[in-house]
Amino acid sequence: MTGTIQDTSHLDTVGALVDQYLAAWNETDPQARREAIAALWAADGVYTDPLASVSGVDGIDQVIAGAQEQFAGLTFVRGDVLDAHHNIARFTWELVAEVGAEPLVVGFDVAAVNDDEKITAVYGFIDKMPG
């Protein structure tokens, strides 16, 4: 990805980054999850969605652990939207009981990446949430 996402020809690389991001959300082993977060995020990275606003590996880890507790047994998968320019990517994701199943939660995230190819910020939106 060479630091900045310059055009849509880099979508394969952006897709790989998004897949790593979602893999961190799916990692249930606390040690492996923290390692995945530390490898993927800048040390001062921020995560903001309608339910949380945190920074740093500890804060991001706590948000992910909380989501895993709330939605135990469900898996985050990439949705149909993936777009990028400069150092910013936007993508949809779904939370499913099994791959191919109707999603229980659907979201849309925007991520910024620094020149070290680390996530500096993610801004999340919830499009569908169970009642």
Question: The domain spanning residue 33 has which CATH number?
Answer: 3.10.450.50
φ, ψ at 5 (rounded to 5°):
-90, 105
Q: Report the alpha-carbon distance of residue 60 to residue 63 in Å, rounded.
A: 5
On whether residue 21 sits in a domain, the answer given is yes
Structural domain of 93? 8-128
Residue 9 confidence (pLDDT) above 90: no
Give me the residues paired with residue 49 across strands.
52
What's the pLDDT at 1? 43
Q: How many secondary structure helices (H) and strands (E) does the chain include?
A: 3, 6
Number of domains within the chain = 1
Instruction: Record the pTM.
Output: 0.89
On whether residue 20 sits in a domain, the answer given is yes
What's the pLDDT at 66? 97
Give me the residues paired with residue 85 across strands.
88
* pLDDT tens-digit map of 84-100: 998 999 999 999 999 88
What's the pLDDT at 10? 65
What's the pLDDT at 13? 82
Residue among 112, 115, 111, 113 at smallest CA distance from 124: 111
